[in-house]
Amino acid sequence: MERAEEKSATNKDEELRYDGDHLTVGVTENKDLPKIKNIQYKEVNLDSLTPEQEELDALIITKAFFNEADKNKYVNFYKEVEYPVFFVGIEGFKLFAFTTEDMNIENSKDDNSAYIQGFKNTNGEKEVFKVYKSKEATDKEIFIQMFDYISK
């Protein structure tokens, strides 16, 4: 019986793979991010980022940096950035808190928002990405969904 459970857990872990292209993902903080094959996290400073930073395939802004990322000085960056941007741990707030001038996390509260919210600027429009976190979902499962979205 134990062996069957062990095999089941192994199969589930094998199913939880990211099989896409290698991605270099800028992160404001990489502690506690799941280790996933083909994903390289690169710690970045928000002030040093440019909208067309070619060495990044995406940007992840973690909860510890929301207060900084929420400043009006980044609104133009979010409008122009050429790679997808994701806010991880944003449940409780709406994405527009970061992307709209004079909005902030204090006046954009929403208890029904997604755990990860992100966007990609495409042809002058923001294509929005959201993942809600269920009690059963692991961070690895959620991040794989995000990386699959980036690589398509």
pLDDT digit string (tens) for 63-78? 999 999 999 999 999 9
Q: How many other CB atoms are there within 10 angstroms of residue 39's CB atom?
A: 21
pLDDT digit string (tens) for 6-62? 333 444 455 578 989 999 999 999 888 999 999 999 999 999 999 987 899 999 999
For 60: left if phi > 0, alpha if psi spans -120 to 50, otherwise beta; the answer is beta
For the whole model, what pTM was predicted?
0.87
